[in-house]
Structure 1
Amino acid sequence: MISHLPPSRLRRLPHTLTPLHRESWDSYVSRLAKANRISHLVLHEHINDRHRVHPAPLPLLDAISHLSGHPRDRLLKALPDLRTSDLVRGLPAACQLLDDGWHVQAVCTLCLAAKGVFTQARHWVPKDTRLCLRHGRWTDTYHTQFDVSLLPEIIQAQRDHRRLVREHGWQTVAIAMRQAAGWCWRWWDSRRFHKERDRRLKLLIPPGGGTYREDPRLVASSYPDIIALTGLLASPKLRNLPFTGRDRDFHLFISEVRARAAPGYRYEAAGVADPLARWIEEERYYRTLPNHPFPMPNEPRTHNPDTLEDLTRRLNAILAPESDSQRQCVSCGTRLKDASPRMRFCSTVCRSRNWRRQQRQRALRDASSSTKQAECPVCGTTWMVGSDRRRDARYCSHRCREAAFRQRKAVEDD
């Protein structure tokens, strides 16, 4: 009688390692190979060989379990890319499948040294992770890491990035960050608004060193400005300011752009190649599409065009003589019924409001043509006279006005 032998299994390696939290499985296998002084390519080929076990190949999770000596549950909790929909049923709620909001990044070398690991490793982190907040090291590269603790604005930008993801979701922040990066790099390529970025870059690059477009130090120095603009574009309320039809909201949006990443920016003097001016024109069209304001990153912007009958009907409505029921007030949009064809406003209030709006626009055009600047005597902030603030403004904010008042009172009391 012939007895069936059990299928052969992989033998355990002499030296085993504990997997790191959220480590990728290829990083763990590479560390295992290095600890046992074998080539990681040979070990990967041995694991992926479909004919290494008779009569059927061994699954990847079981193969790593037999090589390392760790049970399957421990590996599933530590190595998230080994999880499947069937294997996560018995795991805690925190051990779920990975989605598109995660990516592989190098582990901070100082964090590894604190755990007694002195080899390079990679783990799964959210896409909003750029640096290690504990040690202040930039880790958004394959292996190159450097210290950014001398620049606290970069560390604060990482905290702001995570806050934006919690508030608006990583898809919305990804789209807004791509748009903000496009603005900043076009400005910097034209040598505009680059002083703060160059200041940070000088602290990161050693004396005599050069840089290139994909240099991680250049990316880190531009990170605070990009995140500041991302917060402006990710917020639905702030993003909608240029399209409300009110001049006050539009100038508020421009002042936010100046305060965040482009000091001294003037929309009136911007040309057709300016990224902000082009974005406003394109956004006006995108807001007519059904999947606006934020489609998914992999979803194209699509819309259903009008049929020929709809276009004909709309064209006839435009070319037809205006009836009293179709005419509207120029100021508030209220329909004008039983009114004279020469009537443009529904009331004297709307006529006065329209006159004041025209006066403000004329004043802003006159202010934009001049280059006179004013400086706050308290904090030294500069602004364009008549454009950002009133012509007779002496202080940049109410806080500086109160500080000057307290200084005068202190002098009088003495």
Structure 2
Amino acid sequence: MIRQLPPPRLQRLPHTLAPLHRETWESYVSRLAAANRISHLVLHEHINNKHRIHPDPLPLLDAISNLSGHPRDRLLKALPDLRHPGLISHLPRSCELLDDGWQVQEACRLCLAAKGVFTEARHWVPKSTRLCLRHGRWTDTYHAQFDLRRLPEIIQAQRDHHRLVREHGWQTAVIAMRQAAAWCWRWWDSRRYHQRRDRRLKLLIPPGGGTYREDPRLLASSYPDIVALAGLLASPRLRGLPFTGNEQDFRLFISEVRTRVAPGYRYEAAGVADPLVRWIEEERYYRTLPNHPWPMPNEPRTHNPESLEQIVHRLNEFFDSDPDNPDRCASCGDQLKTSNPRTRFCSAACRSRDWNRQHQERKVRETASRSERRECPSCGVTWTPGDDRRRDARYCSHRCRQAAFRRRTADEDI
């Protein structure tokens, strides 16, 4: 009688490798394939194909454990993207789940060579990581690593970026870096305040070489200025200096901008198209709203006003304060510099801000008559549809919608 043999399972590969610290599982499987002279595409397909592993498909962690010969606990400690809430209960506290504060980046090739690894590898790093502090090499851009030891201010900017995340959190640091980068590139595109960046760029580009907008050498040379300005925007105390009503605080903020990124900057001669002028005007308008719709990530979420009637009352008091004074601006209240009785605003920015305020007032008055209230299923905040959000909106903000999506995808993966 011929007895049927059991179906084959995944077998260990002839050559195995030790996983690197915080390495991605795709990078580890690719290195395993290279060590065994197998195409990494074939090995990935073999692991993910449900019909080739019998009698039923193996979980990803078990499949990699069978292929490499390493136990599950060692793989969980080294490969963060394989961790799930039910698998890390017995592991050390340092083995936490990944959140949005981490990103995948190519590992420093000198660090890999010191460990005896001479192939490319990618690992998880905090979002504030742009270079390897141990060897002073830029690692933020894929396939573009270069030495930065001739420019110690870029290496110091990496340390300042890490300190910024420790003090204010990675969410605030990401927002401040994005805003600072937008300001700096607006200035640099108009050929202003670019001398420091160009000096660093000349040391990174060989004689006769060119550059382009996404050149990693250009990004590295602009990194110190962006981090310095982000430190100003991430600090709640320094960020609020232009809005205290004190002229000395406003001058202190402008002097910080000059010291950090824009030597010789003059706010009075900047013009309405200047990014700093536009930000101050927009932020001043947002801070006048009784229900501030865009708080910083480290601020408490207090978006729940008592009633819409109170909002309308406070807006009317603000909009109608001293409307008959012809010598002062109808928007900011500053003294007008012209004697023309038909002039109501001191600048085009004040005229635009006043129109936005009136538009917001009309929206609030229209929604005050509606009694429909909606509750956010993510954070519990209530709002009136059609006010500052769409009438068919389910969540109070983009942040809550993304949080709900991540929870759904995490439940599906489990």
TM-score under structure 1 length normalisation: 0.72
Matching residue of 1:183: 183
Offset at 1:293?
A: 3.8
User: Matches of 2:314 and 2:188 in 1, distance apart?
Assistant: 48
SS of equivalent to 1:146:
coil
Contact 1:290 1:303 in 2 (8 A): no
Q: Structure 1: how far apart are the matches of 2:56 and 2:226?
A: 52
Q: For the structure 1 residues 321 and 34, does the alpha-carbon distance in structure 2 shift closer, same or farther, using more than 3 Å as the test?
A: closer
The structure-2 alpha-carbon separation of the partners of 1:127 and 1:314, relative to structure 1 and needing over 3 Å to count, comes to: closer
Match of 2:90? 90
The amino acid across from 1:121 in the alignment is A
Partner of 2:392: none
CA pair 317-215 structure 1, distance change in 2 beyond 3 A: closer
Report the counterpart of residue 242 of structure 1 in structure 2. 242
Aligned partners of 1:295 and 1:301 also within 8 Å: no
CA offset at residue 8 of structure 1? 2.8
* TM-aligned CA deviation for residue 312 of structure 1: 7.0
Distance in 2 between residues matched to 1:14 and 1:273, nearest whole Å: 64
> Displacement, 1:285?
2.3
Q: Structure 1 residues 188 and 68 mapped into 2: Cα distance closer, same or farther (>3 Å)?
A: same
- The match for 1:393 is none
Q: Which amino acid aligns with 1:272?
A: V
Q: Can you give the 5+ residue segments of structure 1 that lack an aligned partner in the other structure?
A: 323-414
- Quote how far apart the aligned CAs of 1:53 are: 2.0
Report the CA distance shift for 1:320/1:106 in structure 2 as closer, same or farther (over 3 A): closer
Q: Residues 279 and 305 from structure 1, CA distance in 2 versus in 1: closer, same or farther, beyond 3 angstroms?
A: farther
Which of the numbers 289, 294, 297 marks the counterpart of 2:296? 294
Q: CA deviation at 1:272?
A: 0.5
- Confirm or deny that 1:102 pairs with 2:102: yes
Supply the AA of the counterpart residue of 2:165.
Answer: V
Q: Classify 1:233/1:83 alpha carbon distance in 2 versus 1 (closer, same or farther; 3 Å).
A: same
How many Å separate the matches in 2 of 1:169 and 1:249?
A: 25
SS of equivalent to 1:23? coil
Question: Match for residue 144 of structure 1?
Answer: 144
Structure 2 Cα separation of the partners of residues 249 and 26 of structure 1? 51
After the TM superposition, which residues 335-346 of structure 1 pair with which residues of structure 2 at under 5 Å, given as runs?
A: none
Partner of 2:312: 311
CA distances 1:109-150 after superposition (whole Å, capped 9, x unpaired)? 000000011000000000000000000000001121000110
Partner-residue secondary structure (3-state), 2:86: coil
Inter-partner Cα distance in structure 2 for 1:259 and 1:319: 39
> In structure 1, the residue corresponding to 2:217 is in which secondary structure?
helix
CA-CA distance at 1:68 after TM superposition: 0.6
- What is the CA-CA distance between 1:319 and the residue it aligns to? 6.3
The match for 1:80 is: 80
Q: Does 2:78 match 1:53?
A: no
Q: Secondary structure at the match of 2:45?
A: helix
1:36/1:319 CA distance change after superposition, 3 Å: closer
Structure 2 distance, partners of 1:232, 1:294, is 14
1:11-26 alignment runs, 5 A limit: 11-26=11-26
- Give the equivalent residue in structure 1 for 2:207: 207
Q: For the Cα contact (< 8 Å) 1:204–1:217, is it kept in 2?
A: yes
| Gapped regions of structure 2 (runs ≥ 5) | 324-414
SS for the counterpart of 1:147 is: coil
Amino acid of the residue matched to residue 36 of structure 1?
A: N
Deviations 1:285-320 (A, max 9, x none): 232343544148xxx998989847863786489769
1:194, distance to aligned residue in structure 2 (A): 0.1
State the match for 1:123 in structure 2: 123
Distance 1:240 1:189 in 2: 27
Alignment of 1:62-77 (within 5 A): 62-77=62-77
Q: Distance in 2 between matches of 1:318 and 1:108?
A: 57
Deviations 1:141-194 (A, max 9, x none): 112100011000000000000001000000001111111001100000000000
Report how far residue 22 of structure 1 moved.
0.3
What does residue 361 of structure 2 align with? none
Distance 1:137 1:317 in 2: 54
Instruction: Give the deviation of 1:96 after TM superposition.
Output: 1.0
* Residues 203-212 or 240-249, more deviating: 203-212
Conserved in 2, the CA contact under 8 Å of 1:291 and 1:301? no
RMSD: 2.8
What residue identity is the alignment partner of 1:34?
Answer: A
Using the alignment, how far apart are the partners of 1:316 and 1:25 within structure 2?
59
Q: CA deviation at 1:248?
A: 0.2
Name the aligned partner's letter for residue 164 of structure 1: L
d(CA) in 2 for partners of 1:11, 1:162: 43
Aligned residues: 320
Q: Residue 259 of structure 1 corresponds to which residue in structure 2?
A: 259
